[in-house]
Amino acid sequence: MTEIKTNLQLFGAGEAVLGTEGVINADNGNVKAYGIGEGLSEEMKTYYSDYLIDNAEPALVHDRFAQKHKIPTGNGKTIQFRKYDPLPKLTSPIAEGVTPTGQTINMGTLNATVAQYGGYVELTDLLIMTAIDNNLCMATKLLGSQAGRTLDSISREVLVGGTNVQYGEGKVSSRAQLVGGEAEGNHYLTVDAVRRAVRFLKNQNAEKIDGAYVAIIHPDCAYDLMSDPNWKYPHQYADPSAIFEGEIGKIEGVRFIESTEAKVFHANDLAENMRTLTVSGSANGDTVNFSTDATVYEGALIGREVLIDGKKYYVSANTASSMTLCTDSTKQTAANVNCDSGTIIYPGEAGACGVDVYATLVFGDNAYGTTALSDGGLEHIVKQLGSAGSSDPLNQRATVGWKATKVTVRLVEAFMIRIETAASAA
């Protein structure tokens, strides 16, 4: 049986990209989102809008446990999150008949400014007239998925930027030291690593969410953790009906939500045709020569991190056969590299030997906040054929898109920690 694939974009034009400040850019000009077109009835507008939102929300794993706040229309772009300091203990007895000194509640505020994101696809009149499928429905579904994954990633990047990090079981002190895929000494996610993260949160008096801490975990890490005999699947809970969407199980007082959108620190190949480079001739200083078997373009490595003999360096310049290294990302201090010919140069943005590193986020209640996405936070936009006026004189182009306002902030750093590990399935 022969499989036939059709590129429907041949009937459209432009590439949708994410924009800011309300303008969504395309190759063929700017499209501004003013609202839903007049060609749909109110019932259909509601249907398609709900369809987009329903497809977006399941992907919003990283938003699910945040403080959620809305910005009312006409109240600017800045949202204010509030947090209260705990009251101190009162260990001194009060005097009989004497009113003690009153206390004050200290409230801290954190302001954040929302940004706007969005994307769209274009449908031509010929596609609409000739296609077998309901392309408006399909476009809405795909856009909903795009919106959900986009907005989820925005929150994820904020959360993984937190200051509290634990490397495996705490036996190494940096991401570059995490080992995976070796015969021994691998740093995979273990119950002890989870237990250590729980201890940290308990010592910070982080409140639990429905009786447990929550973790967002990648399937590759879940594979390593679920083999433990103490792992409990949702049907083994005392109340199996009270589970979160996407929850796969619980261990050490942590409920795990699985998502392929969990953060993975991946290092790209150093050369066009090779993952690593090989030192050519011994190096002693800030310049390292490498084998010309690799295809490396001048300047292509600037800003990259590399590992040489287990030490991390930053590339400040490179030719097709050499690189100049610094000790940190500011590129202010020249490195002093000592290595022999044949030493392997690994990409350094992830773990040892460039292995992928996974972040498992573990947190308690009120650790972070985000803007709510309902009631205008996430909008579905349809422009009917001819709605562009004189810029579409033959009524040839319609568009379907989405836009959303978004910001995510870490409210209490002490209430979250990320465990960085390698994974056996990587």
**Domain boundaries defined on the chain:** 8-73+112-160+369-410, 277-349
Q: Is the pLDDT of residue 23 over 80?
A: no
pLDDT at 30: 34
- Beta partners for residue 256, in sequence order: 215, 249
Q: For residues 4 and 370, which has the higher predicted lDDT (pLDDT)?
A: 370
Among 32-41, 72-81, 135-144, whose mean pLDDT is lowest? 32-41
Average pLDDT for 225-248: 82
What is the band of 36 on the pLDDT scale with cuts at 50, 70, 90? very low
- What is the average pLDDT score of the chain? 84
Has this prediction a pTM greater than 0.95?
Answer: no
Q: Quote the CA–CA distance of 322 and 353 in Å, as a whole number.
A: 20
pLDDT at 341: 94
What is the band of 119 on the pLDDT scale with cuts at 50, 70, 90? very high
The DSSP letter of residue 121 is E
Crossing angle between the packed helical segments 135-159 and 42-56, to the nearest 10 degrees: 40
pLDDT digits (tens, 9 = 90+) for 139-153: 888 888 899 999 999
Q: Quote the CA–CA distance of 166 and 337 in Å, as a whole number.
A: 28
Q: Quote the CA–CA distance of 120 and 117 in Å, as a whole number.
A: 11
Concatenate the DSSP letters of all residues of 269-329 into one string: PSSSS-SSEEB-S-EEESEEEB-TTS---TTTTTT-EEEETTEEEEEEEE-SSEEEEESST
- Beta partners for residue 298, in sequence order: none
Q: Quote the CA–CA distance of 349 and 50 in Å, as a whole number.
A: 40
What is the band of 133 on the pLDDT scale with cuts at 50, 70, 90? low
What is the band of 48 on the pLDDT scale with cuts at 50, 70, 90? low
CB atoms within 10 A of CB 306: 24
What is the band of 57 on the pLDDT scale with cuts at 50, 70, 90? confident
Q: Quote the CA–CA distance of 394 and 24 in Å, as a whole number.
A: 23
Q: Is the pLDDT of residue 230 over 90?
A: no
| Displacement of CA 145 from its chain's centroid (Å) | 15
Query: CB–CB of 343/310 below 8 Å?
Result: no
pLDDT at 86: 78
Query: Tokens 């030192």 identify what position?
Result: 279
pLDDT digits (tens, 9 = 90+) for 303-349: 999 999 999 999 999 999 999 999 988 888 999 999 999 999 999 99
pLDDT at 33: 32
Concatenate the DSSP letters of all residues of 203-258 into one string: HTTPPPBTTBEEEEE-HHHHHHHTTSTT-B-GGGSSSTTS--TTEEEEETTEEEEE
Q: For residues 153 and 376, which has the higher predicted lDDT (pLDDT)?
A: 153
Q: Quote the CA–CA distance of 206 and 197 in Å, as a whole number.
A: 12
Which of 7-11, 236-240, 373-377 has the largest mean confidence?
236-240
Q: For residues 382 and 276, which has the higher predicted lDDT (pLDDT)?
A: 276
Among 18-22, 57-61, 66-70, 119-123, whose mean pLDDT is lowest? 18-22
For residue 111, what are its two tokens? 């302001």
380 closest CA partner among 402, 399, 363, 355:
402
